[in-house]
A and B are shown apart, each in its own frame.
Chain A
Amino acid sequence: MIQLLLKMIPYQFFHPWEVVDLNRYSRNISTLSQEENQVLLQSKVCVIGCGGLGGYTIEMLGRLGIRTITAVDGDVFDETNLNRQILSDEHKIGQSKAIAAQKRMAVVNSDVKVIPIVEFLNESNAQSIISGHQVIVDALDNIPTRFILQEACHSLQLPLVYGAIAGWYGQASTIFPNDKTLNKIYRINTSNGKEKELGNPAFTPALISSIQVSEVVKILINRGDLLRNKLLFINMLDHEYDVIDL
């Protein structure tokens, strides 16, 4: 009963210095408790890549109420992005993907601060970009940069939520700092992923991004099973959903 009463006390009671419209998040409850919602409101997540996976990921993180999202991408939109990248539209061709993420969230949830970084991740900027966040999301589009990100997360001891797609296929995993899971997913650090042949349709990034966002939330609220040392491999063509121990 006391707990119930506590839940009825508005969030502002605990944080009188900031006014948060909790009604916005009322449909998150009771999937997420009020306390868990508050954790999300205080969280900082860094999304590396604002293309297919990253666009959906930022959209969901912002709607969930992750108050600070760093959106990292040095690229601009081109026509080939329109089939799947939710941040792209015909008016944004030639414009920065990271800045598009900021503009989009400003109209979806103005409580959320999206910090755009218009840079490609590399060995020299990786640590400074990811520093200060609770969780990092790998929404990159190539395998070599994923290894740079894994190494930076290892150095700074930050959890990394990995996702990758190619055609009908997608995979996701949650990588804690010392796991080095990418070394098990990619026997060879190759730049030739199957996406080069298959491309990516509209539905694959949305699906894998959803899995990644749910992993981010579970890390932040410390509840549920993570895909740690596991790979979720999804084949939508044949309806196969395998969780593989790595």
Chain B
Amino acid sequence: MKIKVKLFATLRINREKEMLMDLPEGATPKDIIGQLSIPEEDVAILFINGRGRKIDTIIAENDTVSIFPPVGGG
């Protein structure tokens, strides 16, 4: 199934801003970050279709997954 993935801030370094991924049925955001070599601790905000979701949520065809890293400085 086709999934759109959007990466924000530093997660774009050496990766695309936005990409289409072909994933098997039952895939989760954990599979996406694994394929993209993003460490789990770099995932601060995780959206599926604009709503906050857990890293092991099952994704559906045509979903958009957005991932933001932790920003905490002052």
**Which residues of A come within 8 Å of B, CB atoms?**
49, 51-54, 138-143, 146, 163-171, 184-188, 190, 192-195, 197-198, 200, 205, 231, 233, 235, 238, 244-246
Contacts and interface: CB of A to CB of B under 8 A. Distances in A.
Given A164-B74, A195-B72, A246 B52 contact: yes
A53 B74 contact: yes
A198 B10 contact: yes
B68 A233 contact: yes
A52 B45 contact: no
Contacts, number: 91
A170 B46 CA distance: 17
A188 B44 contact: yes
Contacts of B70: 143, 186, 188, 190, 192-194
B73 A166 contact: yes
B66 to A, nearest CB: 8
Q: Summarize A's interface: helix, strand, loop or mixed.
A: mixed
Interface of B: 8-10, 17, 41-47, 50, 52, 55, 68-74
Contacts of B46: 187
Contact of B74 (A52, A167, A169): A52
A150 to B, nearest CB: 13
Given A139-B74, A186-B45, 7 more contacts: A49-B74, A141-B72, A171-B71, A186-B44, A186-B70, A193-B73, A235-B9
Contacts of A166: 9-10, 71-73
A244 B17 CA distance: 17
A182 B69 CA distance: 14
Contacts of A167: 9-10
Contacts of B8: 233, 235
B73 to A, nearest CB: 3
A228 B25 CA distance: 36
Contacts of B73: 52, 141, 164-166, 193-195, 200
Given A169-B9, A198-B10, A187 B55 contact: yes
10 contacts: A146-B72, A164-B74, A169-B9, A185-B44, A187-B46, A193-B70, A193-B72, A233-B68, A245-B50, A246-B52
B72 A164 contact: yes
B51 to A, nearest CB: 8
